[in-house]
Each structure stands twice: as structure tokens, then as C-alpha cells.
Amino acid sequence: MGSQNNKGKKDISKQLLLALLFILACTFLSIQINRSNRSKDSGIPYENGIHIVSATQESVNIGKDLVFVPNIDYEDIDSGAFTYDNYEDLPYASNVSVTYGGWNDLGDDVVWHNSIGMPEARQITRDGKVKNCGTYLMTIRFEDPDMTYYMSIPDSNGLIKVYCNNSDLGFLWRRTGEWNNTLTLGYSYVPIIPDADGTARIMISISTNVKIYNPGMLAMPSFVASTSAMKLVVFPALWTMIQLILFLFILIGGLLISRTFKNKLIFYLLIALELLALSYTLIDSNFIVVNSYTKALAKFVLFIALNSMVFIYIDSYFVPTDKQKKSIVLNTLPVIVVASAVILIVWAIISQPEFNLYFPLVPEIIFVMFVAILTGFNMVVIHYGEDWSFFASIIEISQIFFSVNAINDIKGIYNIPTYSVFMVIANLTLEFYFISRYVIQARKLEDTMERMQFLVHEKTMRISEINKDLFNTNKKLMENEQARKNVLSNVSHDLRTPITAIRGYAEMILSSGDRLTDSQKENYLRNIIRRSEQMERIISDIVELTRLESDATEFQFTDLSISELLDEICIMYEADLEGTSKQLILDIPENDLLFVKADPKKLSRVFENLISNAINYTYEEAKITVKAWREGADKDLSKQTINIDIEDNGIGIPEAEIPMVFDRFYRAKNSGKNIKGTGIGLSIVKTIIDRHDAKISVESEIGKGTVFHIIMKPSYRES
């Protein structure tokens, strides 16, 4: 139990460290993107009201030294009521800078002409629409008049129409009329075509809703040479396509994977969350074009709804704890968040008809902090260390960075909002996490199926082996039963002979009394002793085989010379063969003692039994050869073998019976009635050989003799 707790603590510590590293990585990424993507004035030379662009500059931003004429609408320009040449006859501002405050903040260096400060805004009514308007002016001289430049305004509030040298270049972001909401496909540029000497006099007319607190340009106009313009057109469109592809991947992949979910609510919440984030990005980046007030209000509603949905989505991963079930507050956290979001949105629409400097900035900041605190409380206090806590923390961290950068609202040079990067990061994390879990589960399922198939196959094979073993066991039992009957018959016969002899000699001694001579009595007693020794041998064989097969007998292994052992045994049997026509020949190497690891007594029993059988099962004119040699003497010791052959020219063994000669109680049919035995000797030989990790085999032919071949491992080479 303690080890599991320690492992759990280590896993939690690892998750906290990874979450901290993720926060640091997101912070660094956010700073770097905002730093590199923020528009900066290119500082081009400005002389006599003209911005001079060098032929070597392919991209410039002009955010200073502009002219602004308030209350001038593009309709005034289209009708000819206003031209670039007559702006000095009207109230206007020079030394204007582009700021996030729009024309309500024209910079610290602004100078007003024909007016003390911004004149009262003139409201223009057209088709029942009330709006503010103003026009920015700038003159640019391109040192390379043959090069075409494209102008864009990354961020603004209002409908923008651009003129160059009194030519109408059309609306930015719109392909058609003023108030038609149009879905565009990329960053919108208009071509700037200078006159013969490279001069372009540009008018930027902006009309906006009176409820917007920062109407006008919010980012510096950007001029890009035709050689580089395509990159800036394609890049934001490509980035948006990446977001759409990720969403479609989640949607399609989720529909496939969700079929295995117990609760599909998580998937539906995810799709809703993705749609909110994607809608926010498309509206904010002007891919879905609406008027300024609708855009600001839609962004605010989507922002609040998005943060609420993140909390609900994260909460859906966790199973309610007992603490939550008992506490009304903890149990209703999702309801509290949603209710707060609805109240905030309704309040904004009803009580805040006009946007100001602090709205919606302050409510958004407060709500992000509110949701972040509740989410953190939910994960750390209630569900700390659960399976989904690390994944949930990554989603929440991504959402916080998304929200902070959305509030900061930097579109930048490439028209790629910084917050959209964190949306992509969150999506990639989400997809990687789910795909990895799905793959892991699929692999586990596949491994489980393979394991089950293996186990079924193994069990089937095992059952087959068991059936085979049962069949063989039954066959063996039947054979053993027959062998038992045979051995009982043999043992009873073998024991009956010495018992009958012993009884006969004893009765003869008892009934004869003093009529037997001392030599007769001694002869009878010797026969009694010899017959009792015969009985003892038979019983000893049975007992020894039983012990060997039950592993009750311990083997005392030592380095043993096969040459010396065979020499001693052959000397003993040569004495027994004196006076007979049988020959015992020993063939062993003169300079190799043939050492093996063996039990001397047990191995002696093997050779004695085999030599004894060879003597018993041969004719009067017999030749018995005992041969030993080392095979592979020129090889490494591990590849050498010690070979022993015991060969005779006796009666032989029928070919069909050779595989059974080592079975207990088995005697060949041609063994003869005059040679009595229990059939245990060769079983003892085989058992002893097996315990020595050696091998024994038989070759025999009827009427020509038998060879027992033994192969053993050498212990070392005698030098």
C-alpha cells in the first residue's frame, strides 16, 4: 500500500512539473509571437508631407505623420465633395499617429488645424444607419515607380474604403456593398499604383458605428511589394485552413471514436467548444465580416461563452466525489459558471449599449479570473491526482493563454492573432492525447486478444497433450499391469526355486540326522547360503530400482576414470570365466584415463549388469568386448565425448523388442527359460545413466549379438 502511495505522489509531482514547464513554454511562446508579430513603424524618411519608400524596401509600416480629416465619409469622396487637394480648407489634424484608440487617440504629437481639438462628430444617416466617419491621408513616393505595392490594415473598427491618386480601389475586407456581411478567404489587400514619378496620394475613409469607443485604424497600414504580398495573403489563409482542418479532424475522428464512449456528452461539449473558438477567430480576423458594433458584441459574447464552456468541458471528465455530492456549492459549480456568464452577457447587452474604454475589457478580465479560479479549485482541491487532472490542466492553461492574448488583441503583421496559436496547441494536445489513449487501448485490446488466442491455443494444446498423456498413461498402466503380472510370475518363480532348494536341503539335513557326513552337511549349508543370496539379489534389484526412480537415492559425483573402473570390473569377471570358453576383451587407451563426473558405485553397477548380461546371453564359444575411447580429442573439451561399448556375439534381441529393453520387468521372448531374471537390471542401468546426464542405446541382431553404446561427458583431459 505504501509503495502505491509513493508511486501516486511521484506521478502527481511529475504532472505538476510538466504543467509548470508547459506554462513556461506558453509564456515564452506568447512573448516571442507578440514581439515578432507586432507592427512597428518602419521609420522611413518623411519630407514636406511625403513618405519616401526606398526601392530596396519590400515591406514598410507607416504609423506616423499622417493626416486625419474628421466627418468625411467615402460618399463625400465619391461625390467629389472632398478631394485630397481641399482637405486644408476643413478642420484636420497633422502629425497623426495610429494607436489602438483609433481616431479618438491620434497620438501625443497631433496638431489640429482650423479647429481646437476634435470637432463635434457629424453623424451621417444612410439607409437608416447612424455612424461616425473620418478619412486618413498620406502621400508616399516610391523610388521604384515600376514596382507594385499592396496595402493592408491589420486591425480597424469600421468600414474601410481606399483611394489612390483619385482612383477608387474599393473596400478592404468586402467584395460588395457597405453592409453586406461577406466570408472572405484571406488577408485583404488593395494594390497601390503610383503615378509616373512614383507618387501615391492615398485616402483611407472609415465609417463606423457610433457605439464604438475606438473607431478608425487600430494598426499601422502595411505596404508590401508584389514580390512578397502573396506570402502575406496565403499565410493567414493557410493558418485558418489549418484550424479548420484540425476541427474537421476532431469532428470526424471524434464521431468514429465516440461510438466506443459510455458518455458522448464529452464529445458534444468538445465540438461546441471548438465551434465557439473557431467562430471567435473567424470574426475577430475579419474572415466573417460584420459591422464594428456587431463584431465587438459578438466577440464579447463568444469570449464569455467560450470560457464557460471550457469549465464545463473540463468538469465533465471527472466523476463527482462524495464531497461534491454532499455539498450543494461544489455540486452546482457548472451551473454557477453558466449562470454568471448569462448574467454578464445580458447585462452587457441591456445596460451597456455603447462600448467604452473599460467595456468589455474589465468584464472579460474578471470573468477569466473567476473561471480560472473555479477550474483550479475543481482540479486541485476536489480532483487532485485523478487520471484526467493533468490533461485538464493542459486544456485550462491553454485557455488562459488564449483568453489573455485575446484580450490583448494583437493582430500583427501576418494577421494571425496570438491566441489562435494556443487554440491550435490545445487542439493538437487534445488530438495527441486522445489518439495516444485510443492507440494504447487498441494495442491493449489487440494484445489481450492475442493473449486470449494464445491462451486458448495453449489450453487446447494442453488439453490435447493431457488427452494424449491420459491415453499413454492408460496404455502404460495396462502395460504395467501386464508387466506386474509378469514380474509377479517371474519373481514368484525366481523366488520359488531358491526357497524350494533351501527347504529341500533343510529337510534333508533335519531328516538324515547323523547319517550325513560333515562334508555333505557343509555342502548343503553352502547351497542354502547361495540360494538365500540369490533371493536377496532379486529383492535388492527391486528395492534399488524403486529408490532410483523415486530420487530417494543420492548420487556422490566425483572425477572417475572410466579406464581404471572398466579394468577393475573386467579383472573380476575374467576370474569368473576361468575354465570356460568365453573370452572377455578390454580395449581402452593407454595414455588417456577417460575422466568423467560420476558416482563410482552406481556406474560400476551399470557396467557389471551389462557385462553380466553379455556373459549370460552368449553361447559357450563367446567373445565379449568392452571398449572405451574419447571422441573429438582434437576439439574443445565441451565438444568431446567419452564412449563405452559393451559388445557380445550372443543370441541377440529381436528388432521389434529393442525399444522396450529398458522397460521395467521386460524380458525378451528369446531370453530363454534357463536364464532367470526379473527384467529389472536394464531399467536400473537406464535410470543410472539418465541421472548421469548420459545416453545409452542398443544395437542388436538375432543370432549375431548385441552392442550397448554409452556416451558420457568428459570432466577433463589427462595430460
Average pLDDT over residues 448-463: 82
**Shared domain check, 575 and 448:** no
Q: Which is more confident, 5 or 316?
A: 316
Highest-scoring range by mean pLDDT, 94-108, 345-359, 453-467: 94-108
Which CATH number characterizes residue 541's domain? 1.10.287.130
Cell, residue 190:
488593395
Instruction: Give the pLDDT score at 574.
Output: 83
Q: Does 82 have pLDDT greater than 90?
A: yes
Closest CA to 606 of 705, 692, 689, 698: 689
Which CATH number characterizes residue 692's domain? 3.30.565.10
Q: Does 674 have pLDDT greater than 70?
A: no
Residue range 133-143, pLDDT digits in tens? 999 999 999 98
Closest CA to 662 of 681, 638, 688: 681
d(CA 528, CA 533): 9
Average pLDDT over residues 536-552: 63
Average pLDDT over residues 361-375: 86
Nearest-5° angle of CA 490, CA 493, CA 494? 80
Instruction: Give the pLDDT score at 136.
Output: 97
**Shared domain check, 387 and 502:** no
Instruction: Give the pLDDT score at 666.
Output: 60
In this structure, of 105-119, 340-354, 565-579, the range with the lowest mean pLDDT score is 340-354
Instruction: Give the pLDDT score at 616.
Output: 82
Kindly report the length of the chain. Answer: 719
**Shared domain check, 616 and 532:** no
Instruction: Give the pLDDT score at 229.
Output: 60
Phi then psi for residue 460, to 5 deg, are: -60, -45
Q: For all residues of the chain together, what is the average pLDDT?
A: 80
Cell, residue 467:
488427452
Q: Which is more confident, 88 or 319?
A: 88
Instruction: Give the pLDDT score at 455.
Output: 79
The answer to whether position 719 is within a domain reads: no
The answer for residues whose C-beta is within 8 angstroms of residue 594's C-beta and 6 or more apart is 561, 562, 563, 588, 628, 629, 630, 642, 714, 718
Instruction: Give the pLDDT score at 545.
Output: 59
Closest CA to 297 of 134, 178, 172, 305: 305
Instruction: Give the pLDDT score at 62.
Output: 93
Which CATH number characterizes residue 51's domain? 2.60.120.260
The answer to whether position 427 is within a domain reads: no
Q: Which is more confident, 421 or 233?
A: 421
The answer to whether position 462 is within a domain reads: yes
The domain boundary, picked from 548, 576, 599, lies at 548
Longest dimension (CA), the chain: 176
**Shared domain check, 612 and 590:** yes
Cell, residue 278:
473557431
**Shared domain check, 310 and 369:** yes
The answer for residues whose C-beta is within 8 angstroms of residue 401's C-beta and 6 or more apart is 26, 27, 30, 419, 422
**Shared domain check, 686 and 614:** yes
Q: Which is more confident, 517 or 646?
A: 646
Q: Which is more confident, 481 or 270?
A: 270
Band of residue 178 on the pLDDT scale cut at 50, 70, 90: very low
In this structure, of 229-238, 636-645, 696-705, the range with the lowest mean pLDDT score is 229-238
Average pLDDT over residues 676-690: 76
Q: Does 336 have pLDDT greater than 90?
A: no
Expressed as residue numbers, the domain containing 627 is: 554-712
The answer to whether position 424 is within a domain reads: no
Average pLDDT over residues 527-537: 74
Instruction: Give the pLDDT score at 553.
Output: 58
- Count of domains observed in the chain: 4
Instruction: Give the pLDDT score at 51.
Output: 94
**Shared domain check, 399 and 450:** no
Instruction: Give the pLDDT score at 95.
Output: 95
**Shared domain check, 397 and 272:** yes
Q: Which is more confident, 469 or 599?
A: 599
